A and B are shown apart, each in its own frame.
Chain A
């Protein structure tokens, strides 16, 4: 399967705990994106990388959130001191820099 892979698919955590999600993009895609989707909303842009460089961050990405893409391959998104408002689907996508993205199936986070 050469699609975008996200792990885990589901994560339940207690408020205040840290969580980390992983995204493996399509190997030849140099751009990688993170989005968040809550119920009844469209995906909201969080951040993107071109190779290993983080080029843009949304104001939605508070200082509790950090994303990395070491060596320009897979990426991780960490949320520290989770809050109930962080409950959402976290979507990763990759792109060769031209038309359209390929999204992964997402990681559903539930903070209890």
Chain B
């Protein structure tokens, strides 16, 4: 049973436009959410996180939005750059702060086209 779902296996976006990656979760105990980026042959790299007490967190070109009532979060990348082409994983934790084990989605492969 997938508790964290990323329903789009891939997404293609033109360079300079906005990329929106979506994530849904089913476990109402999740209170901390993270996004990771992964290049081939490398481990995932932490991008941005959000606590359930917030509905938005921003870091440079990356913004994460959380809609608790819909159990939905999204990652916005503006403007999209070629180096953003990677697999993006949504992850969630029910232990506060993400210090314990994380539950990951299957990932979305983002392709930025020139």
Q: Which residues of A contact B (CB under 8 A)?
A: 4, 31, 33, 40-45, 48, 55-56, 58, 91, 93, 95, 97-106
Contacts and interface: CB of A to CB of B under 8 A. Distances in A.
Interface residues of B, number: 24
Contacts of A33: 101
Determine which residue in B36, B101, B107 has the highest number of CB atoms from chain A within 10 A of its CB, and name it.
B101
B46 A102 contact: yes
Nearest to B34: A100
Given A42-B91, A43-B89, A48 B100 contact: yes
Contact of B46 (A40, A91, A100, A104): A100
Given A98-B97, A99-B98, A100-B49, A45 B103 contact: yes
What are the nearest 6 A-B pairs in CB distance? A42-B104, A103-B43, A100-B46, A45-B101, A97-B99, A43-B104
Nearest to B87: A42
A99 B102 CA distance: 12
A95 B99 contact: yes
